[in-house]
Amino acid sequence: MTDSIWVMGDRTLEAVLKRHTSISVEPFHQGIEGHPVVIIEPSLGPPSQKRHAVEYLANHYPGTMVLSASTTILLAKQQSWVGNRLKLWGFDPWLVAIDAKRLTIVGPDALKPAPWDHFYGWEWDRIEDSIGGVFARVIAPLVNEAMAYRALGLSDRDIDRAIRLGLNHPQGPFEWANLFGVSNIGLVLEAMRQALGESYFPHPEIMRCMAKEGVDWNA
């Protein structure tokens, strides 16, 4: 086993992670040599792509600790794909991306060592395995509502300012959308719609962006 942490896909997370560990943080790519202490799998879907990524890790790195985004696909569901072939934990990659002081994590008490053993400067809150977790469940619907107000003629700047001042958010909804990606917002909303009901249906503008970028929850 090598003293390194591998990050799949999202280069944004690498810079944040490097500030919270003394271990080498490297981008994951097929063919990379070694066996890391942790692999970060931050993708939100679509489910078929998420499953392919998790099963690939189980087939090629059995027994490895994996922090996998469970915002849109329950950790229990991911575990059903791979059984005990991975030491699988769920996390919210958006909280890592903004370098929040507290991160949320899903996983069994008996699983040791825990992933936070490899990081410092963060507090970890164990939460229930639920679609949207805590942070994304607030942010994605907020962006969805902001899209509706934009359609009424309000400017992005005014909407962002209203949310920052009125709700004391550090970012407005369009600033959040620019940071996390509109299609990722859509993936969270679609997962919430299927789990919680039609009130979370993505706004048509979000759906158009997803179509333009080729992101389809059912792909």
- pLDDT tens for 7-38 read 998 788 999 999 999 999 999 987 788 889 99
pLDDT along the chain (219 residues), means of 10: 84 93 92 89 96 96 96 97 95 96 89 87 95 96 96 94 93 96 97 96 96 93
- Its CATH class, for the domain covering 4-126, is alpha beta
CATH architecture of structural domain 135-213:
Orthogonal Bundle (1.10)
Count other C-beta atoms under 10 Å from residue 192's C-beta.
24
Domain segments of the chain as ranges? 4-126, 135-213
CA distance 85 to 60: 10
Burial letters 97-122, b for 16+ CB under 10 A, else e: beebeebbbbbeeeeeeebeebbeee
Amino acid 100: pLDDT:
96
SS3 94: helix
